[in-house]
Structure 1
Amino acid sequence: MSRLYTLFSWLAFVAFIPCFIRAHIIEVSAGRKDCYFEDLHVNDKMTVTYQVGEGGHLDIDFWLQDPTGTLLGKHIKQSTGQIAITADKDGRHEYCFSNQMSAIADKMVSFNVHGVIYVAGDDVVAPVEREIRKLAAGLTGVKDEQEYIVVREKMHRNTAESTNSRVKWWSILQAIVLFSVVGWQVFYLKSFFEVKRVI
């Protein structure tokens, strides 16, 4: 039993070595773009997922290109998206978030970068290791969905608080107008019934 546990622990450790996962939340200022880089080798896999959480119409431009500048994927004015690639060249791959279409609104963007480093002979792995890798990929997907839900919940909470504040101030304004109208009517009716003496 102890040997089986040790073997399973070792396989789990080996399965997670090739994976790199990073989550970031950035603010892309109006009229600017933010770019990031990943050094990949041939057959390495990389997936970038993103979600705009705040700002403007909740949209942003996103693209990913290889070391020669060839565009591997591009999204225009999207609130959420994903681009997955398998590198066919060694070198620094660049991905950018652009808010250049906006003149005043800053954008908050949450994004994740997932990757699998290619290892020669990877196609002849043990069935247990293959299942562990599938499980790791599934957990990554669940993590992405959870972060997406957190961002959406924050957006909905901000909308609800903004609506609540507007309703409160509208109610106060209505009360002020109502009392002003009532006061004016009382004053007007009172002056209407006053007897004016002529001396």
Structure 2
Amino acid sequence: MRVVIAEDHVLLADGLARLLAAYRHIVVATVHTGPDLITAVNTHRPDVAVVDIRLPPTFTDEGLAAAVTLRRTVGAPVLILSQYVETAYARDLLTAGGATGYLLKDRIARPREFVDALSTVAAGGTVLDPEAVTQMFARDRTRRALASLSDRERQVLHLMAQGRSNAAIAQAIVVTEATVEKHIKAIFTKLDLPPSGDDHRRVRAVLAYLDG
């Protein structure tokens, strides 16, 4: 395969180049920014590009933005590398169409698996890191659970997220504290938050609300 690497960390970029060379693949260009990636791909027309999700100057999503642009303009196969699972970014990449991959950088430590994933993307397939799959499904379950809440339960959870006590919530929505407790119990049930000695269900419910 002919490969373009977009990675601003010199040592990692060099390590990737050496790894690919060991498997008889050719790195035709190594770049450090999103615009340079687009230029390199348009110039060299590689079989696949390996792209760090965070590139200069802001180190947020420049790599992802360039990858999505390449997918939508020239259909270039792209494998995104990320330090952590960022499900929103993974979804953005997948919606750009096939011949895409999203892997954690830890996977590079398993050279054969990494090269196989790269080959799959170059051949037009899709590769998604198992940890990303797990987190995406978990977030989908949370959103479905939140969607099952009644309007009143959602209102109570919103006030819980503001740090209000049961008494304050009762006063705000003009009901008894017993009614608030009933709503909170229903929220815990719908969010699948059984009693636990290790986790504070109220905090976990609020975190689920903020995440969803």
Say which structure, 1 or 2, has more relative contact order (CA 8 Å, 6+ apart): 1
State the TM-score, normalized to the length of structure 2: 0.24
Higher strand share: 1
State the TM-score, normalized to the length of structure 1: 0.25
Higher helix share: 2
CA radius of gyration, larger in: 1
